[in-house]
């Protein structure tokens, strides 16, 4: 059996390892187009603040791990997939045959058409190469503009503050992390950042970037401000890497459409990670969920099915946890609520604390919180166990901080804890 995996990120690596465990005699090759050994983008913020060296971002020991498991790692771009001939074409024109193929190509950053994005002071923060460029320009005391305060933007923000830069953040939405936090929580985050000396511009867009002297650029904003910076970082969204599938029978939407076995519309081709539209735990719908735990889950399940084991994906809970200069914010599941559902919340702006619970009937289906780290695991547990809260629903409606008590009372009855 010849298994080919395109993409050497967490989804591809975990898939290769799972295949090796389940199919000891198979030929397994991972083909990845980045020059470094397989690494984790999640570790880039730690690299930016020198908490780890570049090697610390590597997913596995590149000298031994893959060789010991007889997994071939090929450094090349796959330009084309031919599902009729069951082969892939590499950038140098070489072709490789497969019996089962996994697409784990992730996504790439995209930006709105802002004039000046091609200037040498402008970078995204997606790859190790981006990180090296950022390290060169984000020096202690230098001015940096971050475009986009979404999940990735806020992760980078923390690292930039750690580098001692003077930071301005520009976000089109009316609040920070608008796809993860509601108005109140996003507002708290913005207020917190301002207390830390970060210049936050929400409901604002960048209209243009132009050279200003030898090493700096001027960034013009829609609120009339002009910011001079040594570095501009774009964190304005990503798009799935699906171009290599042009002309094939593999169906795509925002990402590659898969079923619960991570199988695409072609029975010999699977997809996993940021590139796949996998099933969501809360809704049962299929959507791209671009976080590493989901990529790992996808990779494992895809591999089991490639090796002939009928494993089904139960769906990943939408889950985001952010540490923004010391303030923890989280959201889980249907944090924005459901039609006809009930909401309980507690808000303390002075203490930067917020908790918001979303119920569907007697079940907790979503939650968000700021500054309340002690509740993180419990909120997730209450949603994932889908426990019927009974009388605890009313108690939580009155006091949403009693989630620990509710969890213990309700799950002990069911024998979970």
Chain contacts with ligand FAD (rule: CB under 6 A): 6-12, 31-34, 41-42, 44-45, 77-78, 104-106, 125-126, 152, 155-156, 241, 244, 273-274, 290-293, 295
| Phi, psi dihedral angles at 127 (to 5 degrees) | -115, 170
C-beta of 320 vs 356, nearer to ligand FAD: 320
CA terminus-to-terminus distance, the chain: 43
Rounded to the nearest whole angstrom, what is the least distance from the CB of residue 257 to ligand FAD in the complex? 16
Question: What is the rounded distance in angstroms from the CA atom of residue 264 to the CA atom of residue 257?
Answer: 6
Rounded to the nearest whole angstrom, what is the least distance from the CB of residue 134 to ligand FAD in the complex? 10
C-beta of 302 vs 383, nearer to ligand FAD: 302
Return the closest-CA partner of residue 333 out of 357, 356, 317.
317
CB of 13 closer than 8 Å to CB of 299: yes
Break the chain down into helix, strand, coil percent, rounded to 5. 30, 30, 40
Cβ neighbours for 55, distance < 8 A, ≥ 6 positions apart: none
Rounded to the nearest whole angstrom, what is the least distance from the CB of residue 268 to ligand FAD in the complex? 18
C-beta of 61 vs 413, nearer to ligand FAD: 61
Rounded to the nearest whole angstrom, what is the least distance from the CB of residue 368 to ligand FAD in the complex? 17
C-beta of 18 vs 220, nearer to ligand FAD: 18
Rounded to the nearest whole angstrom, what is the least distance from the CB of residue 115 to ligand FAD in the complex? 25
Question: What is the rounded distance in angstroms from the CA atom of residue 230 to the CA atom of residue 139?
Answer: 9
The token pair that represents 315 in the structure block? 């769906």
C-beta of 146 vs 389, nearer to ligand FAD: 146
Rounded to the nearest whole angstrom, what is the least distance from the CB of residue 379 to ligand FAD in the complex? 17
Question: What is the rounded distance in angstroms from the CA atom of residue 71 to the CA atom of residue 8?
Answer: 12
C-beta of 272 vs 367, nearer to ligand FAD: 272
The enclosing H or E element of 123 equals strand 122-124
């Amino acid at each position: 059996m010849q298994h080919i995996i395109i993409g050497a990120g967490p989804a591809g690596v975990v898939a290769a390892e799972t295949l090796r465990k389940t199919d000891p005699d198979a030929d397994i090759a991972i083909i990845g187009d980045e020059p470094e050994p397989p690494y984790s983008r999640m570790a880039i913020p730690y690299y930016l603040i020198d908490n780890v060296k570049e090697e610390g971002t590597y997913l596995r020991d590149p000298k031994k791990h893959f060789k010991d498991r007889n997994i071939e790692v090929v450094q090349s771009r796959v330009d084309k997939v031919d599902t009729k001939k069951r082969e892939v074409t590499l950038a140098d024109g070489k072709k490789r045959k497969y019996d089962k193929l996994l697409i784990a190509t992730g996504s790439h950053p995209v930006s709105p058409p802002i004039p000046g994005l091609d200037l040498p002071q402008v970078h995204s923060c997606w790859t190790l190469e981006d990180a090296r460029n950022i390290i060169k320009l984000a020096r202690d005391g230098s001015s940096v503009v971050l475009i986009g305060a979404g999940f990735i933007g806020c992760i980078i923000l923390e690292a930039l503050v750690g580098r001692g830069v003077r930071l301005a953040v520009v976000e089109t939405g009316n609040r920070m992390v608008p796809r993860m936090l509601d108005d109140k929580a996003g507002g708290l985050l913005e207020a917190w950042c301002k207390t830390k000396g970060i210049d936050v511009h929400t409901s604002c867009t960048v209209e243009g970037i132009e050279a200003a002297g030898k090493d700096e650029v001027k960034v013009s904003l829609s609120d009339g401000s002009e910011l001079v910076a040594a570095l501009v970082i774009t964190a304005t969204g990503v798009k799935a890497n699906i171009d290599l599938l042009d002309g094939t029978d593999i169906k795509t939407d925002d990402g590659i459409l898969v079923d619960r076995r991570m199988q695409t519309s072609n029975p010999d081709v699977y997809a996993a990670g940021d590139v796949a539209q996998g099933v969501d735990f809360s809704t049962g719908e299929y959507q791209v969920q671009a976080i590493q735990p989901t990529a790992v889950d996808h990779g494992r399940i895809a591999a089991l099915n490639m090796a002939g084991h009928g494993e089904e994906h139960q769906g990943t809970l939408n889950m985001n946890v952010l540490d923004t200069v010391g303030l923890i914010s989280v959201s889980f599941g249907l944090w924005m609520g459901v039609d006809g559902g009930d909401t309980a919340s507690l808000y303390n702006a002075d203490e930067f604390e917020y908790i918001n619970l979303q119920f569907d009937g007697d079940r907790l289906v979503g939650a968000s919180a700021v500054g309340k780290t002690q509740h993180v695991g419990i909120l997730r547990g209450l949603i994932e166990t889908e426990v019927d809260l009974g009388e605890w629903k009313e108690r939580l409606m009155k006091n949403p901080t009693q989630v620990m008590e509710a969890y213990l009372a309700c799950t002990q009855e069911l024998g979970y804890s």
